[in-house]
Amino acid sequence: MKIDLRSDTVTKPTPEMLHAMMSANVGDDVYKEDPTVNELEKRIANMFGKEKALFFPSGSMANQAAIKLHTQPGEQLIADQYAHVYNYEGGGVSFNSGVSCKLINGHRGMITAAQVEVSINPPDFYHSPLTSLVCIENTTNKGGGACYDFEEIIKIGNVCKDHDLGYHLDGARLWNALVAKGESAQQYGDVFDTISVCLSKGLGAPVGSVLIGDEDIMENAIRVRKVLGGGMRQVGYLAAAGLYALEHHITRLKEDHRKAKEIGRVLEQLSFVKHVEPIDTNIIIFTIEGNEEEFISQMASKNVHFYGMGQGKLRFVTHLGYTDDMHSVFLELLSSKKLDKVI
């Protein structure tokens, strides 16, 4: 039994999702004639209480398009130092939009309104780049699946309003936050100008992200998507997977969260585990005594796969494809004395 805890992106469509995909009604989405894509976009826009939503082939492209919509070349955005837009989108912020990043040293990938306030360059000080956008992530990826306190999200939103800054949410794992905190999509729609959500992480669709916003900011989104090469034709087959996932795979995320917490509790008992970060959702970050690479390859030889994140941090991610059976096998392996000896 192969246990793959590298990421929640490794999921494959369930037979039911595949069935929904195969029976999708499709058309040319570049002409906006794909009824399934149109339905997905409408459904997601409604969930968030926004006027428009646009389907993208990846979360990176949705974020990059949002940054382009909010900024002009030479300007600056504010984000946490762990931000996906800064670390994991290939330098797209500068390549696509000619924008620099002011990075904040936040807590588990989360920043505060006070930190944002002092990071804004005064607009009349023409020596510095003009600050025009704040990007936050919920849940945080590199921050270990941490969820923001919604009050802080509102406070950051107020700072953005006061200083006339755009406010973008990288919500690749927003579904996890909604389930963990009992929040609604509408709440988020009320606060942010733009939101990207991912269908291919926790929700288990093979491909797809959606960018959401009101008409004014989204007016140019379809052109930017075209420029980035993201206009797709009969893509309703993929949108159908997203629609299926919205219906059937959101509430089950609590199972991933439960399993993550159970793994965390076992890790804390192990003599060679130094520290386990708090577990809010489906990501477990921990450090060990001894050599991480050795631990990773030892576990791989036992058919358990995961990544190191640098700086001695190791990560497990639970997901739709990590079954109850795998969970029992994995917990047993982790707590076996054999493993303790290996390390």
Residues engaged in binding ligand PLP (CB under 6 A)? 58-60, 63, 84, 137, 141, 170, 172, 198, 201, 209
Query: Taking CB positions, which residue lies at the least distance from ligand PLP?
Result: 59
Shortest Cβ distance from residue 141 to ligand PLP (Å)?
A: 4
Residue type, 282: N
Query: Would you say 10 or 331 has its CB closer to ligand PLP?
Result: 10
Shortest Cβ distance from residue 163 to ligand PLP (Å)?
A: 24
**335 with 26: CB under 8 angstroms?**
no
Of the candidates 132, 185, 188, 122, the residue with the CA atom closest to the CA atom of residue 160: 132
Shortest Cβ distance from residue 70 to ligand PLP (Å)?
A: 16
Shortest Cβ distance from residue 317 to ligand PLP (Å)?
A: 10
Query: Would you say 59 or 204 has its CB closer to ligand PLP?
Result: 59
Query: Would you say 57 or 264 has its CB closer to ligand PLP?
Result: 57
Query: Would you say 295 or 322 has its CB closer to ligand PLP?
Result: 322
Query: Would you say 177 or 276 has its CB closer to ligand PLP?
Result: 177
Query: Would you say 11 or 58 has its CB closer to ligand PLP?
Result: 58
Query: How far apart (Å, rounded) are the C-alpha atoms in residues 103 and 116?
Result: 10
Shortest Cβ distance from residue 50 to ligand PLP (Å)?
A: 19
Query: Would you say 172 or 177 has its CB closer to ligand PLP?
Result: 172
Shortest Cβ distance from residue 12 to ligand PLP (Å)?
A: 16
Shortest Cβ distance from residue 208 to ligand PLP (Å)?
A: 8
The C-alpha angle 51, 40, 260, rounded to 5 degrees, equals 105
In whole angstroms, how far apart are CA 208 and each of 93, 168, 237?
20, 18, 11
Shortest Cβ distance from residue 89 to ligand PLP (Å)?
A: 7
Query: Would you say 76 or 141 has its CB closer to ligand PLP?
Result: 141
**197 with 33: CB under 8 angstroms?**
no
